[in-house]
Amino acid sequence: MLAYRHAFHAGNHADVLKHLVLDQVLRYMTAKDKPFRYIDTHAGAGGYLLKGAQAQKKAEYREGINRLWSRPDLPPAVADYVHLAQRFNLPQAQPGEPPPQLEKGMTPPLALYPGSPSLARMLMRPGDSMRLFELHPSDARTLAAHFGGRHVQVINEDGFAGLKGQVPPNPRRALVLMDPSYEVVSDYGKVVASMRDAVQRFPEGVYIIWYPHLARIESQQLPKRLISLAPKGWLHVRLTVAQTDSQGFGLAGSGLVVINPPYTLHETLQGVMPWLVDVLAQYEGASYLIEEQPA
C-alpha cells in the first residue's frame, strides 16, 4: 500500500499521544548504560513541513501539537515531548546529526513536525542503533538523506516482514515501534502476526503498537488481540477526543499497546492523560483509558 502519506496527518492528536509515550519509553531505556536498538517498522519521512500542501489539506496539527506549543502549564512529561518538537524547529544541523539544543525560554515558530525516527535520534546515544523501515520510495529516500551514520540503517522494505530479521538483536535489548496506516483492513491481521512472531523470538523486547480508534470491529478488537501476546506485562492507553460522523466514520482518537512497558509509564500517564483530554478535546464526551498488567 503506497498511497498513504503521513504528512497529511503530521502533528495531530494521534501523533501527540504516540510521541508522548515514545518519548517516555526512550528516556527510560537510555537511563540504563547498556546500548539498545530502535526499530521503526513504518518510519515515514522522518519529518514534516506543516506549511506544505499535504499538511495544510486538513491541517490536523492545529488540533494536536499546535494546542500544546506555547502553553506555560505543560505537565513535565508533556513538556519533555513538546521541547523535542521545538528543537526540531530550530535551524537544522548537518544531515545525519540531531537538531541543536533548545535554549531556556525559547519557543520557535511551529513550522515542522518530527516523525518518530527524529524524536528517537534526539534521545539516543552514540552506541545505540536504529533500523528504519519505510516502503514508500519517496519517503525512504527522504529518510536516507537525513539519517546516516554507522549505527543507522534505512531499509526500503515492508516493515512487517522486515521485523523478523531484526529480532532478537545483538545485544539483546530493543524498542520496536509499529504504527502502520491501517488504511488496508489486512494491516490489522499483519500487526498481530508480526507481533506474535517477534515476541516469540524476542520475549524481553519492548514493543509499542499504535492503532486508530475507529468504529470498525477490527480496531475495537486489536488491543485485546495484542494483549494476549504479551509474555509478561503490558499497558494499554487510549485517548478519545472527537466524535465519529452519523455513519460511524472518522478518527475518534487513538491508542497504544505497550508490551513490556517501563514500570514508570503507568504512573506518568495517570498524571497527564486527564490534562490531555481537557486540552485536546473536540467535544464534551472526550475521554481516556489506561489499563495494565504489571510484569
Short-list 267, 265, 239, CA closest to 251: 239
Bond preceding residue 171 cis, omega within 30 of 0:
yes
- Hey, which residues are catalytic here? 179
Short-list 274, 287, 269, CA closest to 25: 269
Give the side-chain half-sphere CA count within 13 A for 288.
22
Whole-Å CA distances, 149 to 37, 96, 129, 144, 154: 14, 7, 9, 10, 10
Cell of 49: 513541513
Q: Which residues contact 146 (CB under 8 A, 6 or more apart)?
A: 46, 47, 95, 96
Task: Tell me how crowded residue 69 is: count the other CB atoms within 10 A of its CB.
Answer: 18
Three-state SS for 177-189 is EECCCCCCCHHHH
Q: Distance from first CA to last CA of the chain, Å, rounded?
A: 36
Cell of 222: 486489536
7 within 8 A of 53, measured Cβ to Cβ:
no
The one-letter amino acid at 252: A
Q: How far apart are CA 256 and CA 208, in angstroms?
A: 7
